A and B are shown apart, each in its own frame.
Chain A
Amino acid sequence: MMERLRQIPRDFRYLIALGVVLAIVPLLLNQFLLSVAIQTVYWAFLGTSWNIMGGYAGQFSFGHAAFYGIGAYTSTVLLVDYGISPWLGMLVGAAFAALFGLIIGYLSFQFGLKGHFFALATFAFAEMLRLVSTELEIVNTSVGIHIPPVGGDSWSKMQFENTPEYYFYVIALFLIVGLFITIIITRSKIGYYFQAIREDEEAAAALGVDTLRYKIYAVMISAAMAAIGGSFFIQFFLFVDPSLAFGVAISIGVLLRPIVGGVGTIWGPLVGALLLSPLAEFTRSFVRTPPSFLSFIEGRAGVDVMIFGVILIVIIIFAPEGVAGIAPRLWRRYQTGRDVDEKSKETVAA
């Protein structure tokens, strides 16, 4: 058994371990901590989606809300207006988002948008969708859409009022699948091509990489995953409006996790989410009921965002490759340091 396990590549072993941990976690948590855990895993999933396009292929998206919102609205409208199960709805949403990714990817890359300019273009596309949705009847304009609660658990409607653990298991499964896709990508031609494009597009093209095609692939994969994240959250929250779906808070939140955790690494988005999401939840609850000597911050919004800002500045200055990026380096340094200590002890003893 152990022998078998050892033959599995390292990242897949980590993924199996993560699956086991995620299966156990909800059993140990109370109601509040469970909602923190759901948020954490959900943001890790969104970060994983961003990481494929922004991290591996190096196409920085500042408008991931566009894809997220397409997923959120598609499954919601299909459910509320047509009675179609969100499980099916989220796949349709993923397909729409991938199609939208194809269109904006083609438009941007064909006309040579790169770096900051591409990032700004993605932001503009997300804002465009937000503004359009405030006027669009089919998504009930700026009023938004309520998903009627079924009152209890329903797998077909993806609502788990009585057993919120199921929400956790659903998003945990998505995260595992997302990470699995990421690992497969990094080990195959498409992942090598993504990274080659990120490092030097001209050199990649000279080696036969169809850079336009592969950049669009990256956007489409990333978009489909983000859309599924959007569908999930709206099913959990049971309400969607233009700023929840296409707002800049989503676009920023999605890219913060991989940047803090480690851009272009498999585990970076998860590490980033583990650091930031609980922090956000605890700060929010802390601000809701602060101790008496801090009563002046009671009910003030945005403290978590300020803390995020500080963390981001620290990370960018001291560890631009992110926590998952520097952790192995520190670990190696610690180990070499220990080896040196051992050796010097031996020398002294001799």
Chain B
Amino acid sequence: MSLLIVENVTKRFGGLVAVNDVSFELQEGEALGLIGPNGAGKTTLFNVISGNYLPDEGRIIYDERYDITGLKPHRICKFGIARTFQIVKPFASLSVVDNVMVGAFLRTSDTREAERQARDAVEFVGLGTQADIPASSLTTAGRKRLELARALATAPRLLLLDEVMAGLTPTESVKIVELIRQIRDERGVTLLVIEHVMKAIMSLSDRIAVLHHGELIAIDEPSVIARDEGVVEAYLGKEFELADD
């Protein structure tokens, strides 16, 4: 079944059409990669889905039943859609586990239960040994993991990941990819992933959607996308084709 249906969504900023008549469906359990050059409208599309922006046209249908278009972000999170931010937003003065507890409190009002769930999530993302230090003393890689743990603590069915690998070293990226794979395989969370690291996104995704100037120019399996002439032209470039073979 379709967990998320994006239907003819358009978002304009003044004269600029950031997202132009985009439609696609996301199956439950699927990992969909979202790629495209800078300014293609990837993050804008995320913000429309997560409720940070109101679309000018189109609808977002969740779970085939709920029209969540234009709901406030906290309502959308309650439905089971969590997101991370491209620029990480830790609650700096709180400890790592307290950060994650904020997410866990969405599903429980019991402090002990929230802490138990938060520690689970912290352990799962590999921050177990740093659970009680302030979030401000985490490294960039640590903060990315914290974003993941917080989002996971809200028990999402759909997770929107906005460039979790940006700013990480290749070794750190590999570990995060592994973690994201686990989130899908072990927790059964459906994924919508924005990423610039091609190798990572190609191996992680079941399908890839390509945005260019706000339009969806292709959506297909990674192997097909890598050979799509329009996509190569718009974004991947000739060198990618060569490097991949």
Contact = CB atoms under 8 A, between A and B. Distances in A.
Interface of A: 187-189, 192-193, 195-196, 199-200, 202-211, 264
A305 B206 CA distance: 67
Interface string B85-116: 10001111110001001110110010100100
A210 B93 CA distance: 21
Given A188-B111, A196-B91, A208 B83 contact: no
B105 A206 contact: no
B77 A207 contact: yes
| 3 tightest A-B CB contacts, nearest first | A199-B91, A203-B89, A208-B106
Contacts of A264: 93
A313 B217 CA distance: 59
A208 B101 CA distance: 12
B45 to A, nearest CB: 16
A205 B89 CA distance: 12
Given A206-B50, A208-B77, A211-B74, A196 B102 contact: yes
A206 B82 contact: yes
Contact of B89 (A200, A208, A211): A200
B150 interface: yes
B83 A206 contact: yes
A189 B153 CA distance: 14
B105 A189 contact: yes
Nearest to B52: A202
Contact of A206 (B73, B90, B111): B73
A192 B150 CA distance: 13
Interface residues of B, number: 29
B101 A192 contact: yes
B154 interface: yes
Interface in B99-136: 101-103, 105-106, 109, 111, 114
Which has the most chain A C-beta neighbours within 10 Å: B77, B109, B151, B153?
Answer: B77
B109 A189 contact: yes
Contacts of B91: 195-196, 199-200, 203-204
A115 B39 CA distance: 30
Given A199-B92, A206-B50, A193 B74 contact: no
Interface in B50-75: 50, 52, 72-74
A264 B94 CA distance: 11
29 contacts: A189-B111, A192-B98, A192-B114, A193-B102, A195-B102, A196-B102, A199-B93, A200-B89, A200-B90, A202-B52, A202-B73, A203-B85, A203-B89, A204-B91, A204-B102, A205-B73, A206-B74, A206-B77, A206-B151, A207-B74, A207-B82, A207-B151, A207-B153, A207-B154, A208-B74, A208-B154, A210-B74, A211-B74, A264-B93
A186 to B, nearest CB: 10
B199 interface: no
B104 to A, nearest CB: 9
B187 interface: no
Given A187-B111, A189-B111, A206 B102 contact: no
Nearest to A214: B74
A299 B18 CA distance: 68
A187 B74 CA distance: 22
Contact of A195 (B94, B106, B109): B94
Contacts of A187: 111
Nearest to A195: B94
A231 to B, nearest CB: 32
Interface in B142-160: 150-151, 153-154
A207 B94 contact: no
A16 B158 CA distance: 47
B103 A208 contact: yes
B150 A207 contact: yes
Contacts of B154: 207-208
Contacts of B89: 200, 202-203
B227 interface: no
Given A196-B94, A205-B72, 16 more contacts: A189-B111, A193-B105, A199-B92, A199-B93, A200-B89, A203-B85, A203-B90, A203-B91, A207-B77, A207-B150, A207-B154, A208-B74, A208-B78, A208-B103, A208-B105, A209-B102
